[in-house]
A and B are shown apart, each in its own frame.
Chain A
Amino acid sequence: MPAEHSHEHTAGAHRHPVDFDPTAAGPDPFSAERRADRPLRIGIGGPVGSGKTALTAALCRTLGAETELAVVTNDIYTTEDADFLRRAAVLDTSRIEAVQTGACPHTAIRDDITANLDAVERLQRAHPGLELVLVESGGDNLTAVFSRGLADAQIFVVDVAGGDKVPRKGGPGVTTADLLVINKVDLAERVGADMSVMCADAHRMRGDLPVITQSLTDDPSAGDTANWVRHRLAEWSRSDEPVV
């Protein structure tokens, strides 16, 4: 499925129609310092069950051969995500770090990113050539976004089974994430979700920010999302922004 960039209908001064609060009204202007000596960090967030872990696994499979990558997972340790990734054999165990979030997944990716930064730093020490770290959030609600101090770019994953009203509800995840992925589109008909409504709402809420619709059943490689990540990586390595 093609990436549905929405540049064509948002030329000029676009305003988000729903403005929850000043910090939610667009990409954070105070983005993280870029450092040539560290990998690109991409956050993957979204509500429970939207397919964050499956997307992470797919990205590991697709990009693992061409990119030095590692994963930090914020879900409940030892049971779900980390084990899922290990069992799926998409990534060497030493490239997966799980953090404890003190039963507050959004705190660990947004308000106090200490545990996640520690995990990223452990991975960097263990794998000096690391180019990309995927930070997967614990399942949370629509208001959960990654701190720009943790994620250089973030993907917000929603799924059609969660209802076609989700993009319209907005929230900082939907409105400000660098990429919105609408997942499990193969289920749309069965759950009675109207894809055209979902996509239109998503673009209306997000302005020029990109939206990708995908089905990992139809494309287990998550090709479009992987391409988006490749572009981000290329930008990151070309970046001539000041190095601290």
Chain B
Amino acid sequence: MTERQHPPPSGPASSLAVLALADARLPGGGHAHSGGLEEAVHRGTVTGPHELREFLRGRLHGAGRQAAVFAAAAAHAAARKAPRRCWSELDTEYDARVPSPAQRAASRSQGRGTARAGRTAWPSPALRELMSVTDSPHHPLVVGVLVGASSLAGPKDAAAVVAYLSLSGPASAAVRLLGLDPFAANAAVAAFEADTERLARAAARTAGLPAAELPSTGAPALDLLAQAHRKHHEEEVRLFAS
């Protein structure tokens, strides 16, 4: 996988698909997911902007990195018109890297939602192939396919989108749950610009590996939060789906 370091001077600054997929206003169901933050707020471990930033650090480098790796791989596969077998391998391999069933469900639910939005806006043969494997594909794979099918964007863009969403989802939930100053929450996300860039570049470098060899970046504390969130759902009020 060769990474394009500089876009051609006359080329687009960024693909509209990439911007739209990273936009919180994309109607893909993301607004109902807090990425573990609601449970963290419930426990009193996130109370203000500083704790939010530290929460986001773990979000980005664990779950965010994992999602980025697979989004990049999916974009790589979509650009090469990968056969159906490849999509089913990516699906199985992502499952194997997410031990928490609550997180797998959250990823598939957001994937299904994003695919519903994507089917209308950016239909492609790759999306049809992916949807023929499962009607609820994992979110990073859907984003990867939608980005990869565009000629203006590639694996690194797909990785950056899901890495960014791994930050913006919990940050937006913090604003809603804690009444946090939205400027402070936004700044907490912005603090990870360099990290996100490095992580997206790294994900693009592994995008062409066989699915079984893609890196695994676990975050055990997030697994426990996700499981506790789901358990408490059945016992008491939770406003977010994850």
Direct A–B touching in the complex (beta carbon < 8 Å)? yes
Interface 1/0 per residue, A96-121 and B, CB below 8 Å: 00011111100110011111011000
Q: Enumerate chain B residues within 8 angstroms of A117, measured Cβ to Cβ.
A: 116
B59 interfacial by beta-carbon distance below 8 Å: no
B112 interfacial by beta-carbon distance below 8 Å: yes
Q: Enumerate chain B residues within 8 angstroms of A112, measured Cβ to Cβ.
A: 25-31, 113
Interface 1/0 per residue, B210-242 and A, CB below 8 Å: 000000000000000000000001111111110
Inter-subunit contact B236/A78 (CB<8 Å): yes
B177 interfacial by beta-carbon distance below 8 Å: yes
Inter-subunit contact B173/A114 (CB<8 Å): no
A76 interfacial by beta-carbon distance below 8 Å: yes
Q: Which of B31, B113, B240 contacts A107 (CB 8 A)?
A: B31
**CA of A107 to CA of B27 in the docked complex: distance in angstroms?**
9
B176 interfacial by beta-carbon distance below 8 Å: yes
**CA of A111 to CA of B25 in the docked complex: distance in angstroms?**
8
Inter-subunit contact B238/A100 (CB<8 Å): yes
The CB with the most chain A CB atoms within 10 A, among B31, B113, B238, B241, is that of B31
Q: Enumerate chain A residues within 8 angstroms of B29, measured Cβ to Cβ.
A: 112, 114-115, 118
B34 interfacial by beta-carbon distance below 8 Å: yes
Inter-subunit contact B239/A114 (CB<8 Å): no
**CA of A100 to CA of B240 in the docked complex: distance in angstroms?**
5
**CA of A108 to CA of B237 in the docked complex: distance in angstroms?**
17
Q: Which of A103, A107, A108, A115 contacts B177 (CB 8 A)?
A: A103
Inter-subunit contact A103/B176 (CB<8 Å): yes
**CA of A107 to CA of B241 in the docked complex: distance in angstroms?**
14
| Given A77-B237, A77-B238, A118-B112: A100 touches B32 (CB 8 Å cut-off) | yes
A79 interfacial by beta-carbon distance below 8 Å: yes
Interface 1/0 per residue, B15-59 and A, CB below 8 Å: 000000000011111111110000000000000000000000000
Closest CB of chain B to A138's CB: distance in Å?
10
Inter-subunit contact A104/B237 (CB<8 Å): no
Which residues from 62 to 99 on chain A have a C-beta closer than 8 Å to any C-beta of chain B?
76-79, 99
Interface 1/0 per residue, B62-100 and A, CB below 8 Å: 000000000000000000000000000000000000000
**CA of A99 to CA of B238 in the docked complex: distance in angstroms?**
10
Inter-subunit contact B239/A103 (CB<8 Å): yes
For residue A149, which residue of chain B has the nearest CB?
B27
Inter-subunit contact A115/B27 (CB<8 Å): no
| Given A108-B32, A112-B28: A102 touches B116 (CB 8 Å cut-off) | no
Inter-subunit contact A102/B33 (CB<8 Å): yes
The CB with the most chain B CB atoms within 10 A, among A78, A101, A102, is that of A102
Q: Enumerate chain B residues within 8 angstroms of A78, measured Cβ to Cβ.
A: 233-237
Q: Enumerate chain A residues within 8 angstroms of B239, measured Cβ to Cβ.
A: 76, 100-103
Inter-subunit contact B237/A102 (CB<8 Å): no
Q: Enumerate chain A residues within 8 angstroms of B116, measured Cβ to Cβ.
A: 114, 117
Q: Which of B25, B32, B117, B237 contacts A76 (CB 8 A)?
A: B237
Q: Enumerate chain A residues within 8 angstroms of B112, measured Cβ to Cβ.
A: 114, 118
Interface 1/0 per residue, B116-138 and A, CB below 8 Å: 11000000000000000000000
Closest CB of chain B to A189's CB: distance in Å?
36
Closest CB of chain A to B41's CB: distance in Å?
11
Inter-subunit contact B109/A118 (CB<8 Å): yes
| Given A78-B236, A114-B113: A100 touches B28 (CB 8 Å cut-off) | no
The CB with the most chain B CB atoms within 10 A, among A103, A104, A107, A117, is that of A103
**CA of A117 to CA of B109 in the docked complex: distance in angstroms?**
11
**CA of A108 to CA of B28 in the docked complex: distance in angstroms?**
11
**CA of A101 to CA of B34 in the docked complex: distance in angstroms?**
11
Q: Enumerate chain B residues within 8 angstroms of A113, measured Cβ to Cβ.
A: 27
Q: Enumerate chain B residues within 8 angstroms of A111, measured Cβ to Cβ.
A: 25, 27, 31
**CA of A183 to CA of B237 in the docked complex: distance in angstroms?**
28
Closest CB of chain B to A148's CB: distance in Å?
13
The CB with the most chain A CB atoms within 10 A, among B27, B28, B30, B113, is that of B27
8 contacts between A and B (CB under 8 A): A78-B237, A102-B31, A102-B32, A102-B240, A114-B29, A114-B112, A115-B113, A118-B109
The 4 closest A-B pairs by CB, nearest first: A114-B29, A114-B113, A102-B32, A112-B27
* Other A-B pairs beyond A77-B233, A115-B32, 4, CB < 8 Å: A78-B235, A103-B240, A108-B32, A118-B29
